[in-house]
Structure 1
């Protein structure tokens, strides 16, 4: 460009020396026009160069953004794959949990059925005992508590005051109880004797504990004499520590002096029944 300007100046000097003023003015006007075109072209060129630089910068920025987007897309794809895998595992675990829950519910149902059968047997015993012993006597009670049958006999029907020798009337009542126990060879009968809280001491017995235990064993011996299997019998003394009512009157103390015969399925046999049900359940699965 500098060479072009120098050439123009030299041409003007040469022409000025050999052309007229009119021609010179025309040439000078032409030169100015050419200079204006040159300046305009220069401005446009600079603008183009600036736009090109800006465009190149945007391209580089877009390349960086594209690279970041590719990385983000790859991370998103991986996360999606991981999520799919986790969801699949979660669904499998949920299915296993539901299956386990169904098995547990079935086991509970089986156990409830077993308990229902046990309760049915217990109620049958109550009916049988009521028929055998009879409830016309207010001093004899038969009831069920927590699935166990209790026969409660007032102290005055079994023993004389302060004595552990069974009365003849008691042997008649115990004979009916023995008949029921003998009809249930797979059940236990626990004889549980209670006293009031009046201190007792008559050698060889030392206290109410001794008296209650001795009365329980006396009843057990009578039942054994009535051909009850001794393996079904349990003797237990409770002294005065489990009263029915407060020992504050003669009438209440009489209520607390009692003997209970607890008739119940043998625990080991009951659990064997439950285990058998569990085995049946496992075999079905």
Structure 2
């Protein structure tokens, strides 16, 4: 074989070898590309699977979100209703509390006024008690003074006692008058004169003169006699200096006995004149009225 031919063959051989290597390289690259493609397709399949899973999860989450939104809306609506109810109840409660407070304030004011009235009443009661005690002391003193002035007359003719805040000077008929008479005798005038000396300067007393009889005789006559005797004594006291504005005459006949009229002793006790001395209680009554 000629060297030229050999060189041509050798050159062809190198070219074919080069092509073979190129093909082998291309094949290797192709196989690698196929492996890469297979890996990529697997990754893609895995990715698609994950995507489907994620999509399903997303859809589930979306459903859950929508459910939550609906629940949230319902809760908001319920809360709104609750808030509305609570607001109304709060408003009603506030109004009720205000009314209660107003009523309480009124009651408190009334209580304070009552306490002030009670305090004022207590003050007036203390003042009244002091005034009554003063009057009692004055009446005690007056009783003693009258008893001392009339001590010369015996207990069968005259008595001085205090009842219910008044002084009762009881004078028997035989000390003042003859039987069935309304004219004072000397002994009676003397007794009344001594009594008038005590009373004439006492402008703080009311003097009521009551005539009393027993049951003997005509009732109309007894009325008249008891009244005339009381009037006679009133005039005598007036003439002796006792203020007539403080004097009152009254006939009681036999309607207020101090003893039974079934014995002469009892009748004698009933035939009497009572001079009743009462303190003028204008200031005391004013305290009563103000209370």
Q: Same fold (TM over 0.5)?
A: yes
**Which piece of structure 1 moves more, 217-226 or 176-185?**
217-226
- Given the alignment, which residue of 136, 140, 159 partners 2:177? 159
Paired residues of 2:192 and 2:236 also in contact (CA < 8 A): yes
When structure 1 is superposed on structure 2, of 234-243 and 52-61 the one drifting more is 52-61
1:100-153, CA deviations, whole angstroms, 9 ceiling, x for partnerless residues? 221222122222222222222211110101101127423311011221111001
Cα gap change, 1:71 to 1:122, in 2 (>3 Å): same
Instruction: Please say if residues 111 and 274 of structure 1, whose CA atoms lie closer than 8 Å, have aligned partners that are also in contact.
Output: no
**Deviation at 1:221?**
3.6
2:212, 2:252 within 8 Å by CA — same for their partners in 1?
Answer: yes
Contact 2:171 2:273 in 1 (8 A): yes
The answer as to whether partners of 2:132 and 2:284 remain within 8 angstroms in 1 is: no
Contact 2:201 2:242 in 1 (8 A): no
Note the residue ranges of structure 2 that are not aligned, 5 or more in a row.
1-48
**Pick from 246, 256, 260: which aligns with 1:242?**
256
Distance 1:86 1:190, change over 3 A: closer
Q: Please say which of residues 50-59 and 247-256 is displaced more in the overlay.
A: 50-59
Quick check: 1:111 aligned with 2:122?
A: no
The aligned residue for residue 251 of structure 1 is 265
Question: CA 1:49 to 1:225, structure 2 compared with 1: closer, same or farther past 3 Å?
Answer: closer
Please, what TM-score do these two structures have when normalized by structure 2? 0.68
Q: 1:198 aligns with which of 193, 216, 224?
A: 216
Shift of 1:194: 0.2
Q: Residue by residue, what CA displacement relative to the aligned partner does 1:206-243 show, whole Å, maximum 9, x if unpaired? A: 51111111111222343345444444432211111111
User: For residues 177-231 of structure 1, what are the alpha-carbon distances to aligned partners after superposition, in whole Å with 9 as ceiling and x for unaligned?
Assistant: 1222224244333221101112238xxxx51111111111222343345444444
In 2: Cα distance, 1:228 partner to 1:92 partner: 53
* Structure 1 partner of 2:82: 65
Q: For residue 174 of structure 1, report the CA deviation from its aligned partner.
A: 1.9
178-187 or 61-70: which moved more? 178-187
TM-score (normalizing by structure 1): 0.69
Measure, in 2, the Cα distance between the counterparts of 1:229 and 1:76: 73
- Equivalent residue, structure 2, for 1:95: 112
Matched residue, 2:100: 83
Structure with larger Rg? 2
Measure, in 2, the Cα distance between the counterparts of 1:84 and 1:195.
71
